[in-house]
Structures are given as structure tokens and as C-alpha cells.
């Protein structure tokens, strides 16, 4: 673009300059020639060659060149250089006057070939060393007739080479400017594109499945922000990918464990056909328990996966959390009694709200069951229901073994269990709390665990009472 605009400017400047030079020359020569023509015409009519010669000689000094006098047929009557006298002289400048009726004409000719030169294509048309002449013609008039042509031939080599050199210089400057513009453009675009090419590499890596790819956060403004946004996106995807892989690995492991123990039990039954009847029943009961575990894990997994896909919709209805707590007390009372635990329900507010009954039931059941399950025999579990201005607050507290501080942040993770053996022995899947948390979140609520190791745990759920979804 820079080169192009330079060429346009230079080109028009150049032709303005050369047009001006030519016009100036033509104007001066023409008027002087015409003046001389007025005196020469009558002498030509009278065929007074001597008089003509004297006249021209007298004025020759005013012109820097050679003067010719031609009659209407183009025959040279006088040539101050003497060479052409008596010959026919054909040129564009003569034709312009004799055939096209112009009063004067101007042209530049190659000194060697005599050919007319196109002054606008000087760059390539002119030889390095040459000679050029300008032909300036003016008509000779007598009455109303054009009776001949007065011609001035003067050397213009200096002017022509000057113009040619000027054009050549401009061409060189144009080439240099275009080259410089291209180089600067290339450097700038590569500086701009460098962070982009880093980003393209990172995107290609990600497309191949390498989620650890990060774009260099270079450059400035929008490009830098693009890289930062891309990086935070790829970080999230990487985390998701790791979590998903872990989930699949954990799930497979959890499913394999009951299958493996079932296989051992079944093989014992097959290869010991005369097994003691009591032992046999015990084995079958064990198998039955493993099947229960398997189906518990599968149904928990299904619940989680469905919630992940966002396909779980809440079917809210008017209910009181108090009713749900009472209901679960009835279901879990036998278990608590068996463990000689005290199950206390403390309702400070019934907490009427719009909620999904099935899901709220599962939340309360899971928390109460955990408290009973993980608290030693003879322990005490207190379920408290209260409300603040906006929230229903449910607390399930026990005086069991508690949860180690470093385990609390992981307690809601899938498959996380503080004591794997203990959990498995009690039929746990390690999915209960993560399901609880998902369901609480779906209701727009929060859940947290507070615990002192050795003193007990407290799970606190807060739910907006006028929740909508
Ligand atoms: N009330 C509690 N007291 C002590 N530990 C608990 C309590 N509730 C949950 N936990 C710990 O949190 C882990 C995860 O609980 P959960 O997700 O319900 O899985 P599960 O009960 O199937 O093992 C349990 O394995 C247990 O270690
Ligand atoms: Mg549980």
C-alpha cells in the first residue's frame, strides 16, 4: 500500500514536472518562431532565397539550434546546417501543420534514428547514452493560405537524460519503499501472529486429546485475553477429564470388589458339594448381601450420572421437613435401637416449603443413616430442624468418632470414605454424601460438615424455604 501510494504520487509529480518543462520550452520557441515566420513568409512567397537566408542568419543567434524553412510540399528551401537544402522533409511536426491544420507543433526525436520519442515512457525507452533533439514547427502564412513551415531543431539531450534519470530514481525509490514496507509489514504481522501461532498449537494439542496444553500468555490486549480465557477453559476441561477418569476407575473398582467375593463364594459352593448346611446358608447369605451392594452401587451411580447430565428435574410439592424427619425416624429407629443408640428429634420449626419429596427424603435418610452407622453403640444422634428468615436449617449431629480434619474437604467426593473397610462392612458405597450434596444444590441450598475427631460430627443443611426451580 505504501509503495502503491508512493508510485501514484511520484508518477503524477513526474509528469507534472516534465509537462511543465516541455510546455515552457514550447511556449517560448513557438512565439519566437511565429514572430520570425511573419517576416519569412513574404520572402518565401517571392521565392527570395537570398533574402530568406539573410533574415534567418540575422536571427539564428536568438535560437539555440538549427532552422529550416519548408514549403507547403515539404521541400527544404533553407537549412542553416546546409545538409537538407533541396530535399523533402517528412515529420510529424510538418504533418501537423500541413495536413491537420495546426498552427504549431512540438516533438522530441531520437538523435540517431530520428524517430519520435514518447516522452511519457522515458524510463525504459531511452538508451543510456544517446542524443535527442526537439522539433518545433510553426506555420508560414500568406493571406489565408499556409504556404510553408518554419522548423527549429535544437538539442535536448540534457533535459531528456535529466528526466529519464529522475524517473529511474523514482522507480528505485519506489522499489526500496515497497521492499521496506513489505519487510516492516512482515515483521509486524509475525509479531502479532506469534502469540496466535502458540495458541493454534495449543488448540491442536487439545484436539488430539492432550488437555494439559496451555497457550503462551504473551502479546497484549485482546490476544492476551484470548490466551488467558483459553487457558482457564483448558484447565477446567483437564480437571473434568481427570475427575471423569477417576470416577470411571473408582466405579469399576467398586463393582469388581463384590463380584470377586461372589466368585470366591460361588466356587466354594461348587467345589464343595457336601458342605455343611449351616455354612452353605451363610455363604448364600453372603452372596445375597454382595448382590444388594452391587445393586446399591449401580442405582447410586445411575442417580449421580443422571444428575451430572442435568436430566434430573425437581418435582416440587408443598411439604414440611418435619414430616420427612418423622418418616425417616420410623425407618431408622430399629437400626438405632439395635445399636442401643439414642435418636433425638428436636423440631424448632416444621419448615414448610416447596421441595422434591423423594429427593429430600433421600437427603435426610442418608445423613441419619450415616450418623447411626458411624457412631459407636450406645451413642447419641440429635436431629435439629430450625429456620432463619430465608432458610430451613437441618442439623444431624452425633457423638461418634468424628472425621479427621484433612478428610473433611473430601467427604462429599465420590467414593471417598474415611475408613474403607468400615464403610464396606456396613454396606456403604461412598456415594451417599455426594448424592446428598447434589440434591441439596439442586434445591438451591448448601451443605457442610463440622467435626472434631473423637467428639462427633455435625452435618448442616441449609435450604431456601421459598425455593423455586
Ligand atoms: N456421621 C459420620 N461420622 C463419621 N464419619 C462419617 C459420617 N458420615 C459420613 N462419614 C464418613 O464419610 C464417608 C462418606 O460417606 P458416604 O458418602 O455416605 O458413604 P458411605 O456411607 O457409603 O461410606 C463415610 O465412608 C465415612 O467415612
Ligand atoms: Mg452413607
Asked whether the whole model's pTM tops 0.85, one would answer: no
- At 61, list the grid cell: 543567434
Q: Are residues 324 and 282 in the same domain?
A: no
Residue 430 CA to ligand 2 center (angstroms) comes to 6
Question: How would you write 143-207 as a 3-class SS string?
Answer: CCEEEEEEEEEEECHHHHHHHHHHHHHHHHHHHHHHHHHHHHHHHHHHHHHHHHHHHHHHHHHHH
Q: Is 282 helix (H, G, I), strand (E, B) or coil?
A: helix
Q: Are residues 352 and 446 in the same domain?
A: yes
Read off the CATH number of the domain in which 282 is found. 1.10.287.130
Q: How many CB atoms lie within 10 A of CB 357?
A: 16
Q: Are residues 248 and 391 in the same domain?
A: no
Handedness of CA 91, 92, 98, 103 (dihedral sign): negative
| 204 inside domain | no
Read off the CATH number of the domain in which 322 is found. 3.30.565.10
DSSP state for residue 79 in the 8-state scheme: E
Residue/partner pairs of 418-426 with CB below 8 Å, 24 or more apart:
422/374, 424/257, 424/293, 426/373, 426/374
Collect the ranges in the chain with pLDDT lower than 50: 469
Q: Give CA torsion, residues 262, 264, 266, 270, to 10 deg.
A: 170
Ligand nearest to C-alpha 431: 1
Q: Are residues 60 and 138 in the same domain?
A: yes
Q: Are residues 242 and 144 in the same domain?
A: no
Of 459, 373, 379, nearest to 411 by C-alpha is 459
Range of the domain at 434: 316-464
| 99 inside domain | yes
CA 353/CA 367 separation, integer angstroms: 20
Residue 464 CA to ligand 2 center (angstroms) comes to 24
- Residues in contact with 69: Cβ distance below 8 Å, sequence separation at least 6, in sequence order: 40, 44, 52, 56, 76, 77, 78, 140, 148, 149, 150, 151
Atom of ligand 1 nearest to the CA of 419: 27
| 194 inside domain | no
Beta bridge partners, 138, equal 104, 150
Q: Are residues 321 and 425 in the same domain?
A: yes
Q: Is the CB of residue 254 below 6 angstroms from any atom belonging to ligand 1?
A: no
Residue that terminates a domain, selected from 254, 273, 308: 308
Q: Is the CB of residue 430 below 6 angstroms from any atom belonging to ligand 1?
A: yes
Residue that terminates a domain, selected from 257, 288, 308: 308
Q: Are residues 115 and 141 in the same domain?
A: yes
Q: Are residues 394 and 273 in the same domain?
A: no
Q: Are residues 328 and 287 in the same domain?
A: no
Q: Is the CB of residue 423 below 6 angstroms from any atom belonging to ligand 1?
A: yes
Residue 300 CA to ligand 2 center (angstroms) comes to 11
pLDDT given at position 345? 96
Q: What is the DSSP string of 80-137?
A: TTSSSTTSB---HHHHHHHTT--SEEEEEEETTT--B--GGGHHHHS-SS--EEEEEE
Ligand nearest to C-alpha 254: 1
Q: Give CA torsion, residues 184, 187, 191, 194, to 10 deg.
A: 150
CB contact at 8 A, 458 and 449: yes
Read off the CATH number of the domain in which 107 is found. 3.30.450.20
Residue 349 CA to ligand 1 center (angstroms) comes to 27
| Model pLDDT for residues 103-128, shown as the tens digit of each residue | 888 888 887 888 888 776 665 556 66
Q: Are residues 155 and 246 in the same domain?
A: no
| 324 inside domain | yes
Q: Are residues 55 and 171 in the same domain?
A: yes
Q: How many CB atoms lie within 10 A of CB 428?
A: 22
| 213 inside domain | no
Q: What is the mean pLDDT of the chain?
A: 88
Q: How many CB atoms lie within 10 A of CB 390?
A: 11
Ligand nearest to C-alpha 412: 1
| 193 inside domain | no
Q: Are residues 292 and 345 in the same domain?
A: no
| 147 inside domain | yes
| 201 inside domain | no
Mutate which of 407, 408, 411 to test ligand 1's pocket (most atoms within 8 Å of Cβ)? 411
- Domains contained in the chain, number: 3
| Model pLDDT for residues 393-448, shown as the tens digit of each residue | 999 999 999 999 999 999 999 888 888 777 777 777 889 999 999 999 999 999 99
Residue that terminates a domain, selected from 289, 308, 327: 308
Amino acid at each position: 500500500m505504501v509503495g502503491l501510494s508512493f508510485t501514484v504520487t511520484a508518477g503524477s509529480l513526474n509528469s507534472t514536472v516534465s509537462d511543465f518543462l516541455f510546455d515552457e520550452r514550447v511556449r517560448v520557441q513557438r512565439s519566437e518562431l511565429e514572430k520570425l515566420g511573419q517576416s519569412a513568409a513574404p520572402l518565401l512567397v517571392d521565392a527570395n532565397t537570398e533574402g530568406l537566408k539573410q533574415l534567418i542568419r540575422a536571427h539564428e543567434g536568438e535560437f539555440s539550434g538549427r532552422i529550416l524553412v519548408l514549403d507547403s510540399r515539404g521541400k527544404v528551401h533553407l537549412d542553416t546546417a546546409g545538409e537538407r537544402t533541396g530535399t523533402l522533409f517528412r515529420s510529424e511536426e510538418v504533418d501537423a501543420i500541413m495536413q491537420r491544420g495546426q498552427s504549431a507543433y512540438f516533438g522530441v526525436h531520437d538523435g540517431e534514428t530520428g524517430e519520435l520519442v514518447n516522452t511519457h515512457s522515458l524510463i525504459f525507452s531511452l538508451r543510456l547514452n544517446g542524443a535527442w533533439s526537439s522539433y518545433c514547427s510553426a506555420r508560414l502564412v500568406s493571406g489565408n493560405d499556409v504556404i510553408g513551415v518554419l522548423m527549429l531543431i535544437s538539442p535536448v539531450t540534457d533535459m531528456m537524460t535529466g528526466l529519464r534519470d529522475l524517473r529511474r530514481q523514482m522507480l528505485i525509490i519506489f522499489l526500496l519503499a515497497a521492499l521496506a514496507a513489505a519487510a516492516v509489514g512482515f515483521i509486524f504481522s509475525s509479531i502479532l501472529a506469534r502469540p496466535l501461532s502458540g495458541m493454534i498449537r495449543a488448540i491442536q494439542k487439545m484436539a488430539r486429546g492432550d488437555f494439559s496444553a496451555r497457550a503462551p500468555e504473551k502479546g497484549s490486549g485482546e490476544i492476551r485475553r484470548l490466551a488467558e480465557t483459553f487457558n482457564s477453559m483448558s484447565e477446567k476441561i483437564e480437571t473434568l477429564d481427570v475427575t471423569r477418569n477417576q470416577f470411571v476407575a473408582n466405579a469399576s473398582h467398586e463393582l469388581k470388589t463384590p463380584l470377586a467375593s461372589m466368585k470366591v463364594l460361588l466356587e466354594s459352593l461348587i467345589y464343595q458339594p457336601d458342605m455343611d448346611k449351616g455354612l452353605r446358608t451363610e455363604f448364600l447369605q453372603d452372596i445375597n448381601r454382595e448382590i444388594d451392594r452391587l445393586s446399591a452401587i449401580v442405582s447410586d451411580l445411575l442417580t449421580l450420572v443422571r444428575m451430572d447430565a442435568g436430566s434430573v428435574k425437581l418435582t416440587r410439592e408443598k411439604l414440611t421437613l418435619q414430616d420427612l424427619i418423622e418418616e425417616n425416624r420410623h425407618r431408622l429407629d430399629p437400626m438405632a435401637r439395635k445399636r442401643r443408640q439414642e435418636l433425638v428429634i428436636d423440631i424448632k420449626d416444621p419448615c414448610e416449603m416447596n421441595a422434591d419429596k423423594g429427593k429430600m427424603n433421600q437427603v435426610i435418610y442418608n445423613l441419619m443413616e450415616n450418623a447411626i452407622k458411624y457412631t459407636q453403640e450406645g451413642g447419641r444422634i440429635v436431629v435439629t430442624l430450625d429456620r432463619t428468615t430465608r432458610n430451613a436449617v437441618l442439623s444431624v449431629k452425633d457423638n461418634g468418632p468424628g472425621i479427621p480434619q484433612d478428610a473433611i474437604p473430601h467427604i462429599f467426593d465420590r467414593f471417598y470414605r474415611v475408613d474403607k473397610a468400615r464403610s464396606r462392612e456396613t454396606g456403604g458405597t461412598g456415594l451417599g454424601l455426594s448424592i446428598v450434596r447434589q440434591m441439596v444444590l439442586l434445591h438451591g441450598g448448601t451443605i457442610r460438615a463440622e467435626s472434631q475427631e473423637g467428639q462427633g460430627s455435625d452435618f448442616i443443611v441449609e435450604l431456601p424455604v421459598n425455593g423455586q426451580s
